[in-house]
Each structure stands twice: as structure tokens, then as C-alpha cells.
């Protein structure tokens, strides 16, 4: 049955207008994005199929182009739309960090870093460079590595901090293996980063580790 044949108060668009987006299920939100279904299936049916196939909205957004296109009713256009939504989310959070005190908004920082680093099949090291008010100057990918490691050079982090006239830095990297717990190497490089940045009077505020659905703050663990 087409969504237009449903009772009005059960249609996703009408529910959103009446109650707000938070009132909708994942499938209903995705159906609004899809707009149309395929032969024999409504947009909500197709949305449910996608969520069942990929496991969650998060996994759907992380799906590579070829995997998404294997699902009937999906293609390059929908993949591009999904990536555009994801990128807009990143930019909206980045704007929030530019305007807010990043150090006192840990939830926003973690959400932003999770958007940047989750789902990667290799390690990357990112840095958020902050001004004296702890507002975001620049978010940058500094190093890329393999599945299990990436080489980090503290002097390069310090060089970028000087170039941007940053007063503080938050760094982050991902663990593709799925465990967010800091390794001995993570603890060691954090100490090196802190010591190197102290020489140029730049504070290392945190080192976050992103793995699967978790973001671990080494500062909260007392390791920064």
C-alpha cells in the first residue's frame, strides 16, 4: 500500500509536522529521505529493508557505494544524497564548535570526532586546533596509517599549531579493530604530544579514541 493511502496521522510527513522529527522512527525518517519506494513496496518498506540489511542508520551511512547500490531501489544518486547529509551534519557540528567553548562542550566534540572517524577501515589521526577561548580554528586530518597503526609525529602537530596560532589542541584517532581502550602506545604518544606542545605554550586538552559506537576521552581517564 502506498503511503498516500495510509491514514493521515500515520504518514511520516504528517507525523513530523504534527509532533516533530524526534517523534518518528528510524524507518520513517529514512522514508522521508527516500521519498519513494519501489514496485510493491512503500518508501517505509524500503527503509525497513535497508535498516535490516545494514543493521542500523549508522551502518547505512557508512556503507560504501558498491554495497548500497546492491539494494534494489538504491543507486548512485541516493548514495550521493546520503553522503551529502553526513557531510552537512559534520559541518553543522563544526560550526557549533566554532561558536561555542569546545572544552566545556565535550558532547559536541565527541559527536564531531565520531562523525569524522567512525567506520574507517584504517587508522587516522585528527586534530582540532582551538583559539584562546577554546573555539575551533581548524579541524584537520594529520596522519593516515594502516588497519592497526598510524605513525604520529608530535613536531608536525606543533608546527600546525604554530601556523594556525592555536592556543590549545584536541587530538583523536580511531581503532578500526573495535576496542576503544588506550594502548600503551597511545599513552606514550599522548605524553610526547603534551610535552612537545608545552614547549610552544600550547595546551593538549584531550586525546580521544573512536571505535565502533564509542568515544573514549583520555583526559577523562586521567591520561592527558
Q: Residue 155 belongs to a domain with what CATH number?
A: 3.40.140.10
Both 118 and 207 in a single domain?
yes
**pLDDT tens digit string along 160-189?**
999 999 999 999 999 987 788 899 999 999
- Whether residues 45 and 107 share a domain: the answer is no
Burial letters for 84-123: b for 16+ Cβ neighbours within 10 Å, e otherwise? eeeeeeeeebbebbeebebbebbebbbbbbbbbbbbbeeb
Secondary structure E strands in 134-202:
136-144, 168-174
Q: Are residue 58 and residue 133 in the same domain, yes or no?
A: no
Is 7's pLDDT higher than 80? no
**For 67-78, how does the pLDDT look when each residue is reduced to its tens digit (9 = 90+)?**
888 888 888 988
Same-domain status, 126 and 207: yes
Residues 109 and 215 in one domain: yes
Q: At which of 93, 109, 139 does a domain end? A: 93
| 105 and 76, same domain (yes or no) | no
For the chain, give the percent of residues with pLDDT over 70: 93
The residues, any chain, with a CB within 8 Å of residue 42's CB and separated by 6 or more, are 1, 2, 3, 31
Same domain, 204 and 130: yes
Could you tell me if 73 and 173 lie in one domain? no
Domain that holds residue 106: 100-221
pLDDT in tens, 81-99: 888 988 888 888 777 777 7
> Does position 1 have pLDDT exceeding 60, yes or no?
no
Task: Summarize the confidence of residues 48-59 as an average pLDDT.
Answer: 86
Instruction: Output the average pLDDT for the chain.
Output: 86
For the beta carbon of residue 214, count every other beta carbon within 10 angstroms: 15
| First-last CA distance in the chain | 57
Residues 49 and 80 in one domain: yes
Amino acid at each position: 500500500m502506498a503511503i498516500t493511502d495510509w491514514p493521515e496521522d500515520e504518514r511520516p510527513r504528517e507525523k513530523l509536522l504534527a509532533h516533530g522529527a524526534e517523534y518518528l522512527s528510524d524507518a520513517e525518517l529514512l522514508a522521508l529521505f527516500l521519498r519513494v519506494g519501489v514496485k510493491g513496496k512503500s518508501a517505509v518498506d524500503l527503509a525497513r529493508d535497508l535498516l535490516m540489511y545494514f543493521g542500523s542508520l549508522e551502518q547505512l551511512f557508512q556503507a560504501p557505494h558498491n554495497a548500497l547500490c546492491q539494494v534494489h531501489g538504491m543507486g548512485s544518486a541516493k548514495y550521493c544524497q546520503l553522503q551529502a547529509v553526513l557531510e552537512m551534519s559534520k559541518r553543522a557540528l563544526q560550526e557549533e564548535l566554532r561558536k561555542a567553548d569546545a572544552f566545556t562542550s565535550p558532547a559536541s566534540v565527541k559527536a564531531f570526532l565520531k562523525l569524522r572517524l567512525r567506520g574507517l577501515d584504517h587508522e587516522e589521526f585528527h586534530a582540532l586546533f582551538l583559539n584562546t577561548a577554546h573555539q575551533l580554528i581548524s579541524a584537520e586530518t594529520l596522519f593516515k596509517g594502516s588497519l592497526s597503526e598510524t605513525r604520529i609525529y608530535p613536531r608536525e602537530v606543533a608546527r600546525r599549531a604554530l601556523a594556525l596560532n592555536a592556543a590549545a589542541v584536541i587530538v583523536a584517532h580511531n581503532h578500526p579493530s573495535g576496542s576503544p581502550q588506550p594502548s600503551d602506545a597511545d599513552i606514550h604518544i599522548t605524553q610526547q604530544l603534551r610535552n612537545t606542545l608545552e614547549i610552544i605554550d600550547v595546551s593538549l586538552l584531550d586525546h580521544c579514541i573512536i571505535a565502533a559506537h564509542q568515544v573514549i576521552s583520555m583526559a577523562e581517564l586521567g591520561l592527558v
